[in-house]
Amino acid sequence: MKLLLASTSRLYGQGYLEYLIEELRDFFKGAEQIVFVPYARPGGIGWDAYTEIARKGFEPLNIEVLGIHTLKNVSLELPKADGIFIGGGNTFVLLKTLKETGHFEPIATAVRSGTPYMGSSAGSNVAGLTIGTTNDMPIVYPPTFEAFGFVPFNINPHYLDPVPDSTHMGETREQRILEFHHFNTQPVVGLREGSWLRIEGNKVELRGSITARIFRKDQSPIELPPGELLL
């Protein structure tokens, strides 16, 4: 499998996918057409409008972007695509829609057969074993929390460090992930904005310029620098 899992689609003050453009050029080298999955659709936007945003993001690379919802036969057409990109939004909405449309399995099959997969935010969450470490609000009830499991761990995108001297009594991100490990065993990668994972076969590489926070059950969290991650 060949995967690119980003914490976010956009850095503050930048355009959509702007910070990732050189990485995308390399990851999708030779690609002419990729399929975009707009099912996490953030508030107030339709699938067509969201696909249009992705289309513009890939314009500098001369890669055509097709919305999966516009394909006539997903099972037949998806394997022909040069890549699949699932954008961010709400992870619960995304997983529920993937299941309801029947597009979950064709995507899983294509990616396991070698079609390059890119996810950002919610799209990175669903590449993990479960969506149990999403930050999103559970605004719809999906039929399962089990995700694609392209990687043998979970991702926490938009990872946030505790705010020093905060007086707010809600849990910190770290507390939430430690509580996740009371009920689950898989490692969790806390992926800060501006970081991404590049995965080829069993090799998982952290890219970007900052460390990721790695949580393993019954161990203290650790910071790992960019480079290969042994998970």
Measured CA to CA, the distance from residue 121 to residue 74 in angstroms comes to: 23
Cβ atoms < 10 Å from Cβ of 122? 28
Which of 158, 161, 209, 218 is flagged as catalytic?
158
Which of 9, 120, 124, 136 is flagged as catalytic?
136
Q: Cβ of residue 129: shortest distance to a second copy, in angstroms?
A: 13
DSSP, collapsed to helix, strand or coil, labels residue 34 as: strand
Closer Cβ to a second copy, 179 or 228, answer by number: 179
Measured CA to CA, the distance from residue 175 to residue 163 in angstroms comes to: 13
- Residue 213, beta-bridge partner list: 190, 223
Q: Cβ of residue 22: shortest distance to a second copy, in angstroms?
A: 20
Closer Cβ to a second copy, 2 or 176, answer by number: 176
Short-list 145, 163, 162, 164, CA closest to 154: 145
Closer Cβ to a second copy, 110 or 192, answer by number: 192
Q: Cβ of residue 9: shortest distance to a second copy, in angstroms?
A: 8
* Active-site residue flag, 158: yes
Q: Cβ of residue 6: shortest distance to a second copy, in angstroms?
A: 11
Phi and psi angles of residue 84, each rounded to the nearest 5 degrees, phi first:
-130, 135
Contact indicator for 16, 10 with CB cutoff of 8 Å: yes
* Active-site residue flag, 121: yes
Residue numbers at the binding site for a second copy (CB under 8 A): 8, 10-13, 42-44, 90, 92-93, 131-141, 144-145, 158, 160, 167-171, 175-180, 182-184, 193
Nearest-5° angle of CA 174, CA 193, CA 222?
40
Closer Cβ to a second copy, 79 or 138, answer by number: 138
Which of 120, 121, 124, 195 is flagged as catalytic?
121
Measured CA to CA, the distance from residue 116 to residue 3 in angstroms comes to: 6
Contact indicator for 197, 189 with CB cutoff of 8 Å: yes
